[in-house]
Chain A
Amino acid sequence: MELTTLILALPSVTAFWLIIGIVLPASLLVLRGKYHAGIIQTMLVCTAICCYLFWLIAFLVQLNPLVGPVLKKEELEHIARQWNDAEIHLKS
Chain B
Amino acid sequence: MGSLFRSEEMSLAQLFLQSEAVYACVRELGELGKVQFRDLNPDVSAFQRKFVSEVRRCDEMERKLRFFAKEVKKSGLTLKPAPLDIRAPDPPVMIDLENEFEQLEAQVKDIESHREQLQKNLIDLVELKHVLLNAQVDFEHAERETNIQRHPTDNLQQGLIANGAESEEEVAAGKLSRVNLEFVTGTIGRERFPGFERVLWRATRGNVYVRHAAIPDAVRDPITGNQVFKDVFVLFFSGENLKNRVTKICEGYRATLYPCPENRQERRETLTSIDARIHDLNQVLHETYIHSQEQLGRIGNDLEIWNIQVKKIKAIYHTMNMFNLDVTAKCLIAEGWCPVESMDEIQDALNRGTDYSGASVQSILRPTETKLTAPTYNKTNKFTGGFQVIVDAYGIGNYQEVNPTPYTIITFPFLFAVMFGDAGHGLLMFLFAISLIIFEKRLANWKAGGEVCLITNFMVYPNNILYS
Interface residues of A (CB under 8 A from B): 36, 38-39, 42-43, 46-47, 50-51, 54, 58
B91 an interface residue at 8 Å Cβ cutoff? Answer: no
Q: Does B227 contact A (CB under 8 A)?
A: no
Chain A neighbourhood of B414, CB < 8 A:
47, 50-51
In the bound complex, do residue B406 and residue A42 qualify as a contact, i.e. CB atoms below 8 Å apart?
yes
Q: Determine if A39 and B462 form an interchain contact, defined as CB atoms under 8 angstroms apart.
A: no
The reply to whether A43 and B410 form a contact with Cβ atoms under 8 Å apart is yes
| Interface residue? B1 (CB, 8 A) | yes
Q: In the assembled complex, how far is the CB of residue B387 from the closest CB belonging to chain A, in whole angstroms?
A: 10
CB contacts between A and B, total, < 8 Å: 37
Contact status B468-A46, CB under 8 Å: no
Q: Which residues of B contact A46 (CB under 8 A)?
A: 406-407, 409-411
Complex: A36 Cα to B384 Cα, angstroms: 11
Chain B interface (Cβ < 8 Å from any Cβ of A): 1, 4, 381, 383-384, 406-407, 409-411, 414, 418, 461-462, 465-466, 468
In the complex, 20 of the A-B residue pairs with CB atoms within 8 angstroms, ordered by the A residue number, are A36-B381, A38-B1, A38-B406, A39-B4, A42-B4, A42-B406, A42-B407, A42-B409, A43-B409, A46-B406, A46-B407, A46-B411, A47-B410, A50-B411, A50-B414, A51-B414, A51-B462, A51-B465, A51-B466, A58-B468
* Chain A residue contacts of B466, Cβ below 8 A: 51, 54
Q: Is the interface of A mostly helix, strand, loop or mixed?
A: helix
Name the B residues within 8 Å of A39 (CB-CB).
4, 383-384, 406, 409
Q: Given A38-B1, A38-B4, A39-B384, answer yes or no on A50-B462 (Cβ-Cβ < 8 Å).
A: yes
List the B side residues contacting A43 at CB < 8 Å.
406, 409-410
**Complex contact A47–B407 (CB within 8 A):** no
Shortest beta-carbon distance from A42 to chain B in Å = 4
Chain B residues touching A, majority SS: helix
Closest 5 CB pairs of A and B: A46-B410, A38-B4, A42-B406, A50-B414, A38-B1
How far, in angstroms, from A58 to B1 measured CA to CA in the complex? 34
- Which B residues are in CB contact (< 8 Å) with A47? 410, 414, 461-462
Q: How far is the CA of A39 from the CA of B381 in the complex (A)?
A: 11
Q: How far is the CA of A38 from the CA of B409 in the complex (A)?
A: 13
Compute how far the CA of A58 lies from the CA of B418 in the bound complex, rounded to whole angstroms.
12
CB distance from B403 to the nearest CB of A (A): 11
Smallest CB-CB separation from A46: which chain B residue? B410
- For the complex formed, measure the closest distance between the CB of A33 and the CB atoms of chain B, giving whole angstroms: 13
Cα separation A58 to B466 with both chains bound (whole Å): 12
Q: CA of A51 to CA of B410 in the docked complex: distance in angstroms?
A: 10
**A54: contacting residue among B1, B381, B407, B418, CB under 8 A:** B418
User: Nearest Cβ distance between residue A19 and chain B, in whole angstroms?
Assistant: 15
In angstroms, Cα B1 to Cα A34, docked, is: 11
Residues of chain A lying within 8 A (CB to CB) of residue B407: 42, 46
Distance in angstroms from B380 CB to nearest chain A CB is 10
Query: Chain B residue with minimal CB distance to A36?
Result: B381
For residue A60, give the distance in angstroms from its CB to the closest CB of chain B.
Answer: 14
Which residues on B sit within 8 Å (CB–CB) of A50? 410-411, 414, 462
Contact partners of B465 in chain A: CB under 8 A: 51
Bound complex: CA A3 to CA B118 (Å): 94
Determine how close the nearest CB of chain B comes to the CB of A54; give it in whole angstroms: 7
Cα A46 to Cα B413 with chains together (Å): 12
Most buried by B among A46, A50, A54: A50
Task: Give chain A residues whose Cβ lies under 8 Å from the Cβ of B381.
Answer: 36
B407 to chain A: closest residue by CB: A46
Q: For A42, what are the chain B residues with a Cβ–Cβ distance below 8 Å?
A: 4, 406-407, 409-410
By beta carbon, the residue of chain A nearest B466 is A54
Inter-chain contacts of A54 with B (CB < 8 A): 418, 466
